[in-house]
Amino acid sequence: MDARPALSIRRSGANQLSSMGISGPLSSSLPVLPTPLEETYPKLPDSQQVSMERELVTRPLTHVSHLSSDSGVVGHIFSSSSGFSSDLHYSSVSPHEKHSRNSPFISQSSTNGASLPFTHSSHSESLESTTSSHYLKENTASWHTDSLPSFLDFPVNTSIENGQVESSNCNGVLASEEFSKWADQLITDDDALTSNWNELLADSNVADLEPKMAYQVPKPSPNFPSHQSQVHLQLPAPSGEIHAVATPSSSAPAKPRMRWTPELHEAFVEAVNQLGGSERATPKGVLKLMKVEGLTIYHVKSHLQKYRTARYRPESAEGSSEKKLTPIEEMSSLDLKTGIEITEALRLQMEVQKRLHEQLEIQRNLQLRIEEQGRCLQMMFEKQCKSGIDKLKASAPSSDAVPDSPDKSELEDSQVDHGKTVTDPGSANTRMEERSPEQKAPEAKAPQNSEPDACESNSQPSKRPRKDE
């Protein structure tokens, strides 16, 4: 039976960990491992396994990069609260590699109470479930209901193949590539995460904890768009983009989404024409002719289908949103006079549409600018309170703590300190609120420039009382 060798490996792993100074519950719960797997899998972790939960949550992530053989299993790792066994296994299989990474986590967990790691795990799990669902789009339905045996199989598989799995990436090359890149990125970001978690663990103040955890949750998510943009860089198609939705599975093919641009489409049309028209061209032929990196046959296939529909059945194509007969069309059957009326009606429609588009553009720009300003304000408040706290600590106030004009590169640093609450932002906030209703939509850049200045001048008076202390 497969479970036996798995168990033996786990035990050795447990011994390793206990030698690192892990608390008792770990080894005592080991013999009952198979059953907790079944019991606790669908539920969130209970207090028993709490102390181990936290670090094993990141383990599965790194695991994933080495495993792409079974989507169900991968899904399992993510959602399983008893990835406990996988963690032990992981550490046992490649202790020399990741040992250094293991110890900080484990020693941390042993020193800290059960409370903090518990919520961390649920958060990190949400991380994984969020992100994994993001990526395992095809399998989101399946991974919750996937059977246990495959999970038990997993440790055995990796024990054998661990070193080789990376190279022996299976079908869906793009998918597994994406996946390992993604996991790699998460690994490289692990350092950042580690430091954050160290911060969090050291900080026993719960009030701070919540915002920080809330921050934690989306943090890896922003990695994904950037990961996607990484993908873009690596696959420089003629202004085409691939948005990775990796599905590491042996059965389902990879289906990253392609963003078609006019240039790419032109290349497509060229290829199709060379092959004798849309009816005669085959996806394979077009794909070959186009020679675009990262373009798969599925992209071409679906695009070709759309193209054919557009060419030969324009009514059904352009009316894809089930447009019904408008009054304009009802008039259309007749003579010249009606023709002019139709044209005029069309012109009217056009006018309204243009108007809407104008307004949309304005609104969009506004929203972008508002976000921009919001970010700058946030950053300045943080700088201010940071310097304010510094002032409180230091006896000699430094006069060069005045914030400069907003510098975007400092934004990341400031974001880390967001947990601190200061009263000053509140007052400056209301001042901003009073000012914003006065702004009307199509104003020039002037308000934007004056706002930061205004903020600076606002921060000055608030600093002075402190200085006088």
- Residues in 229-258 at the binding interface with another protein, rule: CB under 8 A: 229, 241, 243, 245, 257-258
Which residues are within 8 A (CB) of 89 and not within 5 positions of it... i.e. 6 or more apart?
Answer: 6, 9, 10, 13, 155, 158, 159
Task: Answer whether 168's CB lies under 8 Å from 161's CB.
Answer: yes
The Cα-based distances of 375 to 70, 244, 386, 463 in angstroms read 42, 28, 16, 21
Interface positions, 121-140, toward another protein (CB under 8 A):
122-123, 125-126, 129-131, 133-134, 137
Residue from 163, 225, 277, 426 binding another protein (CB under 8 A) = 225
Interface characters, 21-60, with another protein (x: CB under 8 A)? -----------------------x----------------
Asked if 341 is part of the footprint of another protein (rule: CB under 8 A), the reply reads: yes
The CB-of-39 to another protein minimum distance in angstroms stands at 16
57-87 CB burial, b ≥16 within 10 A, e <16: bbbbbbbbbbbbbbbbbbbbbbbbbbbbbbb
The CB-of-404 to another protein minimum distance in angstroms stands at 21
Q: Toward another protein, which CB reaches closer, 30 or 242?
A: 242
The CB-of-388 to another protein minimum distance in angstroms stands at 19
Structure tokens at 388: 């304010």
SS3 245: coil
Interface positions, 414-443, toward another protein (CB under 8 A):
415, 418-419, 429, 432-433, 436-437, 439-441
Task: Answer whether 7's CB lies under 8 Å from 49's CB.
Answer: no
The CB-of-63 to another protein minimum distance in angstroms stands at 21
The CB-of-234 to another protein minimum distance in angstroms stands at 17
CA distance 446 to 436: 13
Q: Toward another protein, which CB reaches closer, 37 or 376?
A: 376
Asked if 343 is part of the footprint of another protein (rule: CB under 8 A), the reply reads: yes
Asked if 144 is part of the footprint of another protein (rule: CB under 8 A), the reply reads: no
Kindly determine how many residues on this chain lie close enough to bind another protein according to the rule CB under 8 A.
Answer: 105
CA distance 231 to 294: 10
Task: Answer whether 386's CB lies under 8 Å from 424's CB.
Answer: no
Task: Answer whether 269's CB lies under 8 Å from 303's CB.
Answer: no
Which among 27-35, 104-112, 262-270, 282-290 is the span making contact with another protein, rule CB under 8 A? 262-270
Which among 52-60, 79-87, 396-404, 411-419 is the span making contact with another protein, rule CB under 8 A? 411-419
Structure tokens at 366: 């506004």
Q: Toward another protein, which CB reaches closer, 17 or 428?
A: 428
CA distance 84 to 86: 5
Interface characters, 310-339, with another protein (x: CB under 8 A)? xx--x--xx-xxxxxxxxxx--x---x--x
Interface positions, 83-102, toward another protein (CB under 8 A):
none
CA distance 170 to 236: 24
Asked if 449 is part of the footprint of another protein (rule: CB under 8 A), the reply reads: no
Residue from 4, 99, 291, 355 binding another protein (CB under 8 A) = 355
Interface positions, 158-197, toward another protein (CB under 8 A):
none
Asked if 79 is part of the footprint of another protein (rule: CB under 8 A), the reply reads: no
Q: What are phi and psi of 72, to 5 degrees?
A: -60, -45
Residue from 4, 265, 284, 291 binding another protein (CB under 8 A) = 265
Which residues are within 8 A (CB) of 5 and not within 5 positions of it... i.e. 6 or more apart?
Answer: 155, 156, 159
Residue from 301, 375, 391, 466 binding another protein (CB under 8 A) = 375
Q: CA angle 198-203-205, nearest 5°?
A: 150
CA distance 241 to 120: 35
Residue from 118, 143, 151, 182 binding another protein (CB under 8 A) = 118
Interface positions, 284-303, toward another protein (CB under 8 A):
303
